[in-house]
Amino acid sequence: MASVTAGAIAARSPWLVVFGGLPGVGKSAIAQQLVAQCGAVDLRIDTIEQALRDSGMLAGDVGAAGYLAAYALARSNLHHGLTVVADCVNPLPVTRQAWRDVAAHAGSRVLEIEVICSDQDLHRQRVETRQSEVPGLRLPGMGVSVGA
C-alpha cells in the first residue's frame, strides 16, 4: 500500500479518509490529529448517533441512522471540495462499501484505515478506563466485533 501523508491529503483535496476499528484502539485520537493537520471535516459516528438520541426522536440503538447521516454529510462536504475524515467502527462490508460509494459519487479518492491494538491487555485496559468526549454517550465494552 502506498504511503499517504497528511500533507498529501491536504494538497489533493478532496479525500474521504475512513478510520475503522474496534472501540478503544485509538482511532479517534489518530483521526482528530489528521483533522487538525489537514483542516478536514470531522465526522465522528459517536457524535452523530448521540445527537440522534438527544433529539428524542430515536433512543437506544439508532440502527443505521448515524451512518446514513454521516454518508450524506460526507457526500455534501466532498462536493464542496472539502476533505472528510470519518471516525467509525465501520464493522460490516456493507458500511465499508457505502463509504467507497460516497467517495465515488463525489469523484473523490478514498483512504480506508483500520486501526488495531495488537496488545489485548492494553486494549482491554483502554476500553475499561476511557472516558467519553461525547456528552451523554455510553461507551461500548469489549463485546463489539468488526465483521469480515
Ordered structural domains, the chain, with CATH: 17-129 (3.40.50.300)
Cα separation, 63 vs 95, in Å, equals 12
Q: Give the pLDDT confidence score for residue 62 in this predicted structure.
A: 87
Q: Give the pLDDT confidence score for residue 58 in this predicted structure.
A: 79
**Quick check: 93 and 100 in contact, CB under 8 A?**
no
What residue has cell string 456528552?
A: 135
Per-residue model confidence as pLDDT tens for the chain (148 residues): 456 676 665 556 699 999 999 888 889 999 999 999 999 999 999 999 999 988 888 777 888 999 999 999 999 999 999 999 999 999 899 999 999 999 999 999 999 999 998 888 867 776 666 666 755 556 555 555 444 4
Measured CA distances, 35 to 6, 41, 84 (Å): 9, 7, 8
Burial of 133 (0-12, 13-18, 19+ CB in 10 A): exposed
